[in-house]
Amino acid sequence: MTAIHPAGEIIESEFASVAVKLDHDGNAVRLRVEDLRTGRVRFLDALELESLVWLADGHLTQLLDPSHERWRG
């Protein structure tokens, strides 16, 4: 395990850097994901995570298109 970051364990590459940890502040546990380059945070609940697991590769690939959300033209 690498150094402990307050936002959780770090998953990073040369292209992105995120931290993930389990969050217990709500009425059930959630996954807290922080984009360390912008500080943007998203919580994912169990049903959302399960849906991600089942996302077809094609769909996931579409999400990676930079113009899909973040840099929509």
Partner 1 sequence: MTAVVPSPSDVVAEVQEGGSRYDRLIQPARVHGTLYTDPSIFAEELRKIWHRTWVFVGHESEVPQVNDYVRKQLADQDVVMTRDKEGEVHLLINRCAHRGLQVCDDKAGNSSSFRCPYHGWTYRNTGELLGYPYNKGYGGKKQLPLGMGKVARVASYQGFVFGSLAEEGPSLEEHLGAAKGEIDRLVGLSPEGKVSLDAGWLRHKTRSNWKFLAENETDGYHPQFVHGSIFGVTGSPIGELYSDNSTAVTRNLGDGHSENDLRPEFRGFAEPMRWFGTTPDRVPHYVAAMKEAHGDAADRVMIEGAPHVMIFPNLFIAEIQVFNIQPVAVGECVQYSTAVQFDGGHELNMRMVSQSIGSVGPAGMLLADDTEMYERNQRGVAMADPEWLDVRRGLHRESVDENGFTIGTATDETGMRGFWNHYKSLMEAED
Which chain residues interact with partner 1 by CB under 8 A?
Answer: 25-30, 43, 45-48
N-terminal to C-terminal alpha carbon distance within the chain: 39
What is the closest distance, in whole angstroms, from the C-beta atom of residue 55 to partner 1 in the complex? 14
What is the closest distance, in whole angstroms, from the C-beta atom of residue 18 to partner 1 in the complex? 19
Instruction: Report which of 20, 26, 62 is spatially closest to residue 42, judged by C-alpha positions.
Output: 20
* Residue with smaller CB distance to partner 1, 11 or 49: 49
What is the closest distance, in whole angstroms, from the C-beta atom of residue 12 to partner 1 in the complex? 26
Rounded CA separation 31/42 (Å): 8
